[in-house]
Amino acid sequence: MLGRTLLEVSAALKQGQVTPTELCKKCLSLITKTKYLNAYITVSEEVALKQAEESERRYKQGQSLGDLDGIPVAVKDNFSTAGIETTCASNMLKGYIPPYNATVVQKLLDQGALLMGKTNLDEFAMGSGSTDGVFGPVKNPWSYSKQHREGRRHDEHDDSHWLIAGGSSGGSAAAVAAFTCFAALGSDTGGSTRNPAAHCGLVGFKPSYGLVSRHGLIPLVNSMDVPGIFTRCVDDTAIVLGILAGHDPKDSTTVQDPIKLSRIPSEVDVSRLCIGIPKEYLVPELSSEIRSLWSQASDLFKSEGAKVIEVSLPHTCYSIVCYHVLCTSEVASNMARFDGLQYGHRSGIDVSTEAMYAATRQEGFNDVVRGRILSGNFFLLKENYENYFVKAQKVRRLILRDFVNVFDSGVDVLLTPTTLTEAVPYLEFIKEDNRTRSAQDDIFTQAVNMAGLPAVSVPVALSNQGLPIGLQFIGRAFCDQQLLTVAKWFEKQVQFPVIQLQDLMDDGSLVLENGKLTSVSLTQ
Amino acid sequence: MAASVLRLGIPGRRWALAWIDGGSRHRSGTQPGPTSNRARGQSSVAQLSLRTAQKPRKGEHKWAAVVGLEIHAQICSNSKLFSGAQVCFAAPPNSLVSFFDASLPGTLPVLNRRCVEAAVMTGLALNCHINRKSLFDRKHYFYADLPAGYQITQQRLPIATNGHLTYNIYIRKKQSQVTTKTVRIKQIQLEQDSGKSLHDDLRSQTLIDLNRAGVGLLEVVLEPDLCCGEEAAVAVRELQLILQALGTSQANMAEGQLRVDANISVHHPGEPLGVRTEVKNLNSLRFLAKAIDYEIQRQITELEDGGEVLNETRSFDYKLGCTVPMRDKEGKQDYRFMPEPNLPPLVLYDATSLPSDADSQQVINIDQLRDMLPELPSATRERLVQQYGMLPEHSFTLLNEVGLLEFFQNVIKETRAEPKKVTNWVLNTFLYYLKQQNLAVSESPVTPGALAELLDLLDSKAISSAAAKQVFEELWKGQGKTAAQIMSEQQLELMQDREALEQLCQATIDGHPQTVMDVKKRNPKAINKLIGLVRKASLSRADPALIKEILEKKLSLF
């Protein structure tokens, strides 16, 4: 039951094959079993059970709220949840219990979803590995999969080679990948949903900026942040997006015009599509496996009659440095509120208000956050503002224009890799500092945030090491539905395998009804 | 003992009195101190005499002062600029604070339509260009009552620019001479107010009240076109009247709804401008004028003594009557301005640019707001002069006192008396009584209706002018009696019996032979003295014109 997709389990709930409480308890037990993954910061067991009870009552009375009623979900711990601690994986917010729900959380709850808990991340979502939070790193469930263990040649039982989940929404990705919930919310500022989705073999969706409310999402970069969605298949993403999307009076950057979102048709015709392959994304650092899968994917579209053309996004190469300036500047500004006065951590040093501020922020933030605050304040100084911030904004505009030009030329969807490589072992990952890693890891994902476009990472195949590889589709702004339609067609072609978590399956708690282990059409 | 001597000895206690005395003939000199009138906060500065800030010494260049103002006016709105929290003065601490106002992580600003409309109306009233597109910025600094660590303001592209404000300096010494001046308005921007810090030095703690945090402010930036404290005070007073007429701000300085910062420098005309200082948080017009004049003088003295003026922020110590450097603003702050990413550009429309399918709840039409502008103070004054034939100075007084114009108009509505008479009574008698007791118009025990009735009695010659004053004094006691009741109870009716009056006149003539002699010697004052004596004898119930007629008749018989 737990291995099913959201839509499948929703159907099972409706048919009474399983009750919300049973489902909830199974997920809770799995959360306990997979505690070593460190996917959750807070498990909201009581809340979830109570919600399950209410959901069960609704089902009994034939008053189900819809597809999400009774469905266990998880939420990244940078979304405000009323009455449930929200930490951003930072000392600064340890013990902070918000009095309100983020709009997206409220929308899920209004649909009857069960909130299993708050998931782990890099502190304040600053990172690409989910390794830099105060609660420790998230472990990629695929580290323990049968597929990966078979793919690895040595150290069969050596746990020290566990892999990172990707980030910064690694906890949400691990939670869905390990079957502890059916969908999870992440956030995506430079790739923070798509990157861990690729590493954990999930669909990771970043909606168009302005389509989904940010109210209650504790910001990293306001002008780029969007709530992201993790599910096991594209249809599930479409269901969740349908619920989350829409104007929110509490977020002035959400669009007023209603965006039509519906279920994706089961039969999709891609023969009239034009797929763009951005040549700048073919970088030397790209792993040969991913490169080969990327090209096979484009062949797949060609074989179906779609037009596949090479396109150019000439300013992509400036994206990382431009992002660095804009991101750190907004971070410097957004983090100013954490001064220890109203909420969160407050240092015991009280010789003066200024000394208290300084000590609070020194104790509350990790090096990554402090480093970004420092750089951001440097860029915002009067003497630097024109040279850095304004220039970066101009470059951002050029990056956006690149995309607009490509889409104006008739391209419907861009196809790119999501990451340079498959997930790497933690020990290897931490050899580089956060900034270097973020710069490398966000290379394919970040420009999309600059331009506010929708993008989705779809799992394609397993690497030689038995690890998931994802490819990314980028769509026109507010053409999220079209993007997911293409993603669904692609998903159907590649038949990505279900993760084989041996130790979970052994005790029978995990029945994989739709496990298709070998039918991968794209192979190495 | 020592303490009381010290208190008496505090310099600066007297200047406010002198200033008030020089400023208004209605004010008594008995007010206890500079703060006594703060509750009103609306002194009649338009009537102040023009004083030049400084006189050049012989053989030296003349100094000229350059004064610019930044005025913060709290917008009169039900809720705050970016949140739904209520706006209300003197509510219990921290009772009007939304999650956004407390800067809880994840909260976002949502612009209040009413505040935008108030800014547009104010901009139009101040002859500004209204920007069709304006932007919001974040201004960063750490302060305990600024929970976000930044203020949302409009630094780069404000909502209104390039306006002007016309104000009148009234020169009392040269009777009725009004000089009209203009100060340019650089810009009007929308921004958030901060919370309030209450410093408890004794226990070395600071208490924070966030009720005010996030209230909408209009920052009105004036170009440095002013040259002295008085000009500044008069200009601010005019702005205050405009804001109140528009209803965009209550602009009560005592309640902090209008706060003024002044930028001041001095230089020799024709030479580059001098280094300027900023005097912060001036919360009454008198302090504003005093602080500016003090600061001008201080800078001149400093420069003439070979010193230099530092570019610094100072505050006005109203107890000492001088400006002092502010201790916590030593270094130059870099506010690290940045665009507010959570608010899209603010776009305004006019009749021509308004999209045909626009939802009227979602757009603001400048032309529509222009049509809705009420009569502004300058137009009101002009109307008063034309409609009621009053002197311009009277129109100023009527507008300057809060509620006085409305009172006047209500009296006019209800009485048959001539407008000139009404003006006279309202501005002299009524206002005098108010000032005597330091009351606002709204606190007056005499209603417009009661005064109107009294003026009707006067108009129908049922009562003499002097007796009417007595009736007014009774009315002021507020015992619920009408003017007519008081008049008849106290037998203040005008003597209608000519014979009795003739007897009174005769008795007076008989009793004052010397004065009668003076009359015969054509001493013009003597006849008035006799009239006065008869009036006194009649207990002010006789018509002076009639007395004069009788006396002249009788005296010519001799």
ipTM over 0.90: yes
Region for B181 from its dihedrals, namely left if φ exceeds 0, alpha if ψ lies in -120 to 50, beta otherwise: beta
The confidence band for B520, taking pLDDT boundaries of 50, 70 and 90, is: confident
Query: Mutate which of B342, B359, B363 to test chain A, going by most A C-beta atoms within 10 A?
Result: B342
pLDDT digits (tens, 9 = 90+) for B91-148: 999 999 999 999 999 999 999 999 999 999 999 999 999 999 999 999 999 999 999 9
Q: Is the pLDDT reported for residue B37 higher than 50?
A: no
Confidence (pLDDT) at B34:
38
- In degrees and rounded to multiples of 5, residue B30 shows phi and psi of -100, 5
Nearby residues of B331 by Cβ (< 8 Å), 6 or more positions away: none
Confidence (pLDDT) at A266:
81
**Distance of residue A474 Cα from the nearest chain B Cα, in angstroms:** 23
Residue in chain A lying closest to B111 (CA): A252
Of A88, A217, A353, the CB nearest to B144: A353
What mean pLDDT, rounded, does chain A reach?
93
Separation of alpha carbons A183 and A74, rounded Å = 7
| Cβ(B291)–Cβ(B229) below 8 Å | yes
| Cβ(A443)–Cβ(A340) below 8 Å | no
Confidence (pLDDT) at A517:
34
DSSP state of A386: I
Helix (H) or strand (E) holding B189: strand B177-192
Confidence (pLDDT) at B186:
98
Is there a catalytic annotation at residue A168? Answer: yes
pLDDT digits (tens, 9 = 90+) for B434-484: 999 999 999 999 999 999 999 999 888 888 888 889 899 989 998 888 888
Residue A314, exposed/middle/buried by CB under 10 A (0-12, 13-18, 19+)?
middle
B291-301: average pLDDT: 96
Contact yes or no for B103 and A329 at CB 8 A: no
Confidence (pLDDT) at B54:
47
Contact yes or no for A337 and B106 at CB 8 A: no
Q: In terms of pLDDT, which residue wins out, A159 or B176?
A: A159
Confidence (pLDDT) at A494:
96
Confidence (pLDDT) at B306:
92
The confidence band for B173, taking pLDDT boundaries of 50, 70 and 90, is: low
Confidence (pLDDT) at B44:
38
SS3 A304: coil
Nearest to B464 by CA among B545, B537, B531, B526: B545
B337-344: average pLDDT: 97
Of B105, B150, B208, the CB nearest to A80: B105
Of chain B, the percentage scoring pLDDT greater than 70 comes to 87
| Cβ(A254)–Cβ(A213) below 8 Å | yes
| Cβ(A246)–Cβ(A106) below 8 Å | no
Positions of chain A with pLDDT under 70:
153-158, 503-524
DSSP-derived pairing of the beta strands A114-119 and A72-76: parallel
Of A256, A337, A353, the CB nearest to B206: A353
Ranking B166-170, B296-300, B385-389 by mean pLDDT, the lowest is: B166-170
**Distance of residue B105 Cα from the nearest chain A Cα, in angstroms:** 5
Q: Is the pLDDT reported for residue B509 higher than 90?
A: no
Contact yes or no for B147 and A377 at CB 8 A: no
Confidence (pLDDT) at A158:
66
Strands, E assignment, A44-178? 72-76, 114-119
Beta bridge partners of B164: B184
Confidence (pLDDT) at A117:
98
pLDDT digits (tens, 9 = 90+) for B134-158: 999 999 999 999 999 999 999 999 9
Confidence (pLDDT) at B60:
57
- In degrees and rounded to multiples of 5, residue B108 shows phi and psi of -130, 150
Separation of alpha carbons B372 and A16, rounded Å = 63
Confidence (pLDDT) at B47:
37
pLDDT digits (tens, 9 = 90+) for B251-265: 999 999 999 999 999
Confidence (pLDDT) at A438:
74
Contact yes or no for A252 and B105 at CB 8 A: no
Extract the tokens encoding B422: 């009404």
Rg (CA), chain A: 22
Which residue type, as a one-letter code, is found at position A505?
A: M
**Distance of residue B54 Cα from the nearest chain A Cα, in angstroms:** 38
- In degrees and rounded to multiples of 5, residue A482 shows phi and psi of -60, -40
Selected catalytic residue, list A26, A76, A107, A118: A76
CA torsion sign, A92 to A96 to A100 to A106? positive
Helix (H) or strand (E) holding B346: strand B346-347
Strands, E assignment, A320-418? 413-417
One-letter-per-residue 3-state SS of B389-429: CCCHHHHHHHHHCCCHHHHHHHHHHHCCCCHHHHHHHHHHH
Is there a catalytic annotation at residue A76? Answer: yes
Confidence (pLDDT) at B22:
29
Confidence (pLDDT) at B419:
93
Contact yes or no for B108 and A382 at CB 8 A: no
Is there a catalytic annotation at residue A266? Answer: no
Separation of alpha carbons B321 and A155, rounded Å = 83
Q: Is the pLDDT reported for residue B400 higher than 60?
A: yes
Q: Is the pLDDT reported for residue B340 higher than 50?
A: yes
Confidence (pLDDT) at B231:
95
pLDDT digits (tens, 9 = 90+) for A91-123: 999 999 999 999 999 999 999 999 999 999 999
Strands, E assignment, A423-517? 455-462, 468-475
Residue with tokens 């222009």: B370
B308-319: average pLDDT: 91
Alpha carbon A440 to its chain centroid, in Å, reads: 17
Region for B214 from its dihedrals, namely left if φ exceeds 0, alpha if ψ lies in -120 to 50, beta otherwise: left
